[in-house]
Structure 1
Amino acid sequence: MRLLVVEDHQDLLDSIIEILSDEYVLDSATDGEEALFLAMQAIYDAIILDVMLPGLDGFEIVQKLRSAEIDTPVLFLTAKDSLEDRVKGLDLGGDDYIVKPFQGPELKARLRALLRRSGALTTKQTVRYRGIELFGKDKQVLVDGHPIKLTAKQYELLEYLIHNKKVILTKEQIYDRVWGFNSDTTIAIVEVFIHHLRKKLEPFGYHTDIKTVRGVGYILTDD
């Protein structure tokens, strides 16, 4: 799963990345404008968002995201602990709060709870689509009860498609989500990996569920 961490204090940002990097793929931003640009790509499972930022603050970012109908879960990170601030953040579309200073285990627990509520994470970290089961803890895949072997990127691609089933995903969204903004590859890699993933699913008949939307991207659906 990919998270966006937004924090303008570099030491704290580095600390959060160290805490979470063993479980998640992380992108980061240190100002409001950059954070909004990244968040608007709609490629993240959750956003950890500082309230006080240079440029746009966290409240403004969430307001713009929700206005654009981007419902990525947001965990506000703030030194403000007043009831008024908490209510404002939640009313604007935030999902939870954690107050500085905090401990790593609390951050991880709040994040897991947020992901469970959004449906991105189940208790057993299992993702299902028809007869396909993905076991996040061990990165194992069963198709109609039969194990299949996927590379790490093939697994991430299938997981992303399943989380967004019946939603058209652009090639750019898939590329940014699976390979990241700093990847040395080109966007053409998306088409190559879709082809390979279809070949892995073909013996079970699920390859036709990954449909091409000409000129746009792909959608996972059995319609």
Structure 2
Amino acid sequence: MRVLLVEDDQMLAQTMLDMLREDHTVDWLDDGQQALGAVMEDRFDLVILDLTLPRLDGLDIVRRVRQQGNQTPIIILTARSDLDEKLHGLDAGADDYLTKPFAMAELKARIRAVTRRGGFGPSVPELQVGRLKLNTESSRLIVGDSAVSLPRSEFQILQYLMRRPDQVATRRQLEEQLYGWEAGAESNALEVHVHHLRRRVGKQTIRTVRGVGYLLDSDMAARESTE
């Protein structure tokens, strides 16, 4: 899952990045105007948003994003603890509101809850396409009668494809799931990860769309056996 963290306290942001990157691909901004542009122009699965930001307040970001019809899940994370502030945030369109100081375990639990509520995942943390079942919390993949815990990179790719079966995912979209805005690994790293996944799910289940990217073929996922 790709997350945008918007936080202008650099020490807190670095701590959060270290913790969140254990499970997700996370990009970070410390400026409200830049954050608004990123949410509107890029594709994120979740935004974690401070309210007191340079150039543009977080509440204004939420309002403008929702006015444009963008339904990306947003968790407000702020020191503003008054009830009225919380109500303003939720009424503006935020999906959740957490006040500082906070426990990282609680934030992670709220991330799971918000992404499930927002349609990013089912109420049970499992994706299924044909014979493939993927637990989104444990990274455990079940193919027929076999099961394996996926490395993080393979999990990120397969999760993205399974949420959009039979839809083409471009190279850029998949690389952003792996690396965000940071420079990626070697140029053939994505192909290597896809090669490993094909050995797990079947060669024809993940199809190459030449010059564009990859897609998960739901028909093949329903009937193909791995070799």
Q: TM-score, normalised by structure 1?
A: 0.76
* 1:8 maps to amino acid: D
* Sequence identity (%): 34
Q: What number of residue pairs does the alignment pair up?
A: 218
Measure, in 1, the Cα distance between the counterparts of 2:98 and 2:149: 38
* 1:181 maps to amino acid: W
Q: Secondary structure at the match of 2:28?
A: strand
Q: Secondary structure at the match of 1:53?
A: coil
Within the alignment, does 1:32 sit opposite 2:18 as a pair? no
**Partner residue in 2 for 1:152:** 152
Measure, in 1, the Cα distance between the counterparts of 2:102 and 2:180: 28
Aligned CA distance change for structure 1 residues 165 and 54 (closer, same or farther; 3 Å): farther
Measure, in 2, the Cα distance between the counterparts of 1:187 and 1:176: 13
* 2:110 maps to amino acid: R
Aligned CA distance change for structure 1 residues 38 and 218 (closer, same or farther; 3 Å): farther
Within the alignment, does 1:102 sit opposite 2:95 as a pair? no
Q: Which structure has more RCO (C-alpha within 8 Å, separation ≥ 6)?
A: 2
Give the drift of 1:94. 1.3
Aligned CA distance change for structure 1 residues 86 and 142 (closer, same or farther; 3 Å): same
Give the drift of 1:112. 2.6
Residue pairs, 1:130-149, within 5 angstroms: 130-147=130-147
Aligned CA distance change for structure 1 residues 86 and 221 (closer, same or farther; 3 Å): farther
Q: Secondary structure at the match of 1:174?
A: helix
Moved over 6 A (4+): none
Measure, in 2, the Cα distance between the counterparts of 1:149 and 1:100: 34
Give the drift of 1:182. 1.5
Within the alignment, does 1:41 sit opposite 2:37 as a pair? no
Measure, in 1, the Cα distance between the counterparts of 2:175 and 2:79: 35
Measure, in 2, the Cα distance between the counterparts of 1:15 and 1:37: 24
Give the drift of 1:172. 1.6
Give the drift of 1:135. 2.8
Confirm or deny: 8 A CA contact 1:131 1:145 kept in the other structure: no
Structure 2 unpaired stretches of 5+: 220-227
Q: TM-score, normalised by structure 2?
A: 0.75
Task: String of CA shifts for 1:81-114, please: whole Å, max 9, x gaps.
Answer: 3444333333332101012233333323322321
Give the drift of 1:76. 0.6
Aligned CA distance change for structure 1 residues 192 and 37 (closer, same or farther; 3 Å): farther
Q: What is the aligned-residue RMSD (CA, Å)?
A: 3.2
* 1:118 maps to amino acid: G
Give the drift of 1:37. 4.2
* 1:41 maps to amino acid: D
Within the alignment, does 1:222 sit opposite 2:223 as a pair? no
* Greater Cα shift, 72-81 or 13-22: 13-22
